Amino acid sequence: MQQDINALNSGPGAAQLPSGPFSMPRSNYWPNVKNAHLAKHPVCEACLVQGDAPPQVVPQVHHIIPFQYCVFLGRPELEFHPNNLMTLCEGTGTNDHHIAIGHLGDFQHLNEAVEQDVAGPWKGLLKAAIEKLTDWIHRERWPQKPLTDQEKTRLLALMTSRCGEQPSGSVEALIALWWGESVLGTSPGTTVPPSPATGG
């Protein structure tokens, strides 16, 4: 049964991140959207590892703004928005650009400059070399804690600048627009709710 992703954005404290590790389930639509993205963008943007790489290092789809933040702040459709997705490799050993660049060493972190990093000074560097860079060591990291009003406002502005204002309509209609109707399968409908106030 499809989980209503909007239900994750309701109830007391919905605009606060959990105190423990992220455990929010993905939508049932995510596997098909992920596959559609990888079909269009199969290469890690940091090191050019492709889908035929050794099995211990594989391309993964990275959410530039972690989808947990998007859901908690009333933008569940950004789990699927093309402008919020990029391909980075994930695995063991020398290559793990998903964690090293995408999340600055920890999956709870957001790297606002990830696109600039992979296109510029960090492109082609191995994970171990990246983690020795002064810029990487001192880069701002978002702590996993309840968000302040200022942090909520900043994140909502980042979502708008990257993906535009929140559209009306169903999540399915947006997925079909961005990725084609074939990715929808048979999951039942959900509707994008209005964005909550930043202070809640």
Q: Report if residue 192 sits inside a domain.
A: no
Amino acid code (one letter) for 15: A
Q: Report if residue 18 sits inside a domain.
A: yes
pLDDT tens for the chain, residues 1 to 200: 233 333 333 333 334 444 434 567 888 999 999 999 999 999 999 988 765 555 567 889 999 998 888 988 999 999 999 999 999 998 765 678 998 999 898 877 889 899 999 998 888 888 889 999 999 999 888 766 678 899 899 999 999 999 999 998 888 999 999 999 999 875 444 444 433 333 22
Angle in degrees, CA 64, 192, 19, rounded to 5: 55
Q: How far apart are CA 156 and CA 70, in angstroms?
A: 8
Q: Using an 8 Å Cβ cutoff, are 105 and 56 in contact?
A: no
Q: Report if residue 125 sits inside a domain.
A: yes
Tell me how far CA of residue 99 lies from CA of 38, 71, 189, 194, 197, in angstroms.
18, 21, 33, 32, 31
Q: Is 78 exposed, middle or buried (0-12, 13-18, 19+ CB in 10 A)?
A: buried
> What pTM did the predictor assign?
0.78
Q: Report if residue 195 sits inside a domain.
A: no
Rounded to a whole number, what is the distance in angstroms from the first to the last CA of the chain?
30
Q: Report if residue 188 sits inside a domain.
A: no
Range of the domain at 158: 5-183
% of the chain surpassing 70 pLDDT: 74
Collect all residues with Cβ–Cβ distance below 8 Å to 11 and sequence separation of at least 6. none
Q: Report if residue 137 sits inside a domain.
A: yes
Residue 22 confidence (pLDDT): 53
The stretches of 56-179 forming alpha helices (DSSP H) are 67-72, 97, 114-119, 127-130, 134-137, 149-163, 171-179
Structural domain tally of the chain?
1
Q: Report if residue 55 sits inside a domain.
A: yes
Q: Report if residue 194 sits inside a domain.
A: no
